[in-house]
């Protein structure tokens, strides 16, 4: 049975950092809707043009657009062993659409891993975050610096600061996207007994150990 997991948490909780590692170690497809949208902005696609201003404000992109983009991605060849969802679903409509898509494939969500962390730590993490232009590899100027300042270790591309990582936008994203929009999604999954929580304020290695233990348990039981 494919292992389909959702990583949920406020902006900057470390979902992308863990998801990239886990996906490559376990052969799962890492589907990050934020990365897909930023690629659209970079390439000037119609999707990217529509999403650019919305993302810069810290608002959510429309459900119709996100669901259509996700549906196409889920149909790709690399999703057979399972998917690690990072940034999707973020609304009840997206969660219901996801269930319908997985149902149609005879699959289901095995667990929703929630990254718990407070707002002050998020601001600290996001103000120091740098990502690479080529492939969104993630760094932090203090907690996870690249070997050469401003250059991605993996692909040599330039590192930049995301437009939505400025403190005012981080606070807006936290309130609108986590406190307001994510609560009904969490309730939806909690009602089905799928929610597991980890302490995401710990250092990267400790967070990695906690997530790995959880996935090992699920993988063994699936
Ligand atoms: P998206 O890109 O998904 O942003 P996000 O959820 O806000 O998450 P982030 O990428 O900001 O954080 P993360 O948890 O992955 O943290 P990271 O690992 O980088 O979405 C962007 C925008 O797109 C949204 O605002 C919205 O507009 C739109 N969008 C996307 N999906 C959508 C959807 N489904 N519906 C509607 N709109 C959608 O880590 C953060 C920093 O901390 C890094 O510098 C990292 O090095 C560091 N770090 C990580 N772990 C640790 C640790 N344990 N200790 C110390 N530092 C750490």
Distance 222 CA to ligand 1 centre (A): 28
Give the ligand 1 atom nearest the CA of 115: 14
Q: Which of 28, 6, 13 is nearest to 88 (CA)?
A: 6
| Spans of the chain, pLDDT less than 70 | 221-222
Q: Which residues have any ligand 1 atom within 6 Å of their CB?
A: 9, 11-17, 33-34, 37, 54-55, 58-61, 66, 87-88, 90, 94, 125, 128-129, 138-140, 143-144, 164, 173, 177, 203-204, 207
What are the C-alpha distances in Å from 74 to residues 84, 105, 121, 165, 207? 11, 10, 33, 28, 27
Radius of gyration of the chain (CA): 17
Q: Which of 41, 93, 102 is nearest to 75 (CA)?
A: 102
Q: What is the pLDDT of residue 221?
A: 56
Tell me, yes or no, if 73 is annotated catalytic. Answer: no
Distance 171 CA to ligand 1 centre (A): 13
Annotated active-site residue in 38, 52, 90, 125: 90
Tell me, yes or no, if 173 is annotated catalytic. Answer: yes
Q: 59 has which bridge partners? A: none
Tell me, yes or no, if 129 is annotated catalytic. Answer: yes
pTM summary value = 0.94
Positive/negative CA dihedral, 187, 93, 15, 174: negative
What are the C-alpha distances in Å from 94 to residues 64, 66, 107? 9, 8, 16
Tell me, yes or no, if 171 is annotated catalytic. Answer: no
Tell me, yes or no, if 90 is annotated catalytic. Answer: yes
Give the ligand 1 atom nearest the CA of 140: 44
Q: How far is CA 91 from the centre of its chain?
A: 14
d(C-alpha 43, C-alpha 32), whole Å: 17
Give the ligand 1 atom nearest the CA of 207: 53
Domains and CATH numbers, the chain: 4-221 (3.40.50.300)
Q: Which of 86, 77, 80, 84 is nearest to 37 (CA)?
A: 86
Annotated active-site residue in 52, 125, 130, 173: 173
What are the C-alpha distances in Å from 221 to residues 94, 194, 203? 27, 14, 28
Annotated active-site residue in 52, 125, 129, 130: 129
pLDDT in tens, 38-74: 999 999 999 999 999 999 999 999 999 999 999 999 9
Spell out a b/e string for 107-129, using b for 16 or more CB atoms within 10 Å of the CB, else e: bebbbbbbbebeeeebbebbebb
């Amino acid at each position: 049975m494919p292992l389909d997991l959702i990583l949920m948490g406020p902006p900057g909780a470390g979902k992308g950092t863990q998801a990239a590692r886990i996906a490559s170690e376990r052969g799962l497809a890492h589907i990050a809707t934020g990365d897909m949208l930023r690629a659209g902005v970079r390439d000037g696609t119609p999707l990217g043009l529509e999403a650019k201003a919305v993302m810069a404000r810290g608002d959510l992109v429309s459900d119709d657009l996100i669901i259509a983009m996700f549906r196409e991605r889920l149909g790709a060849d690399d999703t057979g062993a399972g998917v690690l969802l990072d940034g999707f679903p973020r609304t009840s409509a997206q969660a219901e659409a996801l269930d319908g898509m997985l149902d149609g494939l005879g699959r289901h969500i095995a667990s929703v891993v929630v990254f718990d962390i407070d707002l002050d730590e998020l601001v600290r993490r996001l103000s120091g975050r740098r990502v690479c232009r080529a492939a969104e590899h993630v760094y932090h100027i203090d907690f996870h610096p690249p070997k050469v300042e401003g250059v991605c270790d993996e692909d040599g591309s330039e590192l930049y600061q995301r437009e939505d990582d400025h403190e005012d936008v981080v606070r807006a994203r936290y309130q609108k996207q986590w406190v307001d929009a994510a609560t009904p999604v969490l309730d939806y999954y909690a009602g089905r007994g799928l929610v597991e929580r980890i302490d995401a304020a710990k250092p990267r290695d400790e967070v990695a150990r906690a997530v790995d233990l959880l996935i090992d348990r699920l993988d063994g039981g699936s």
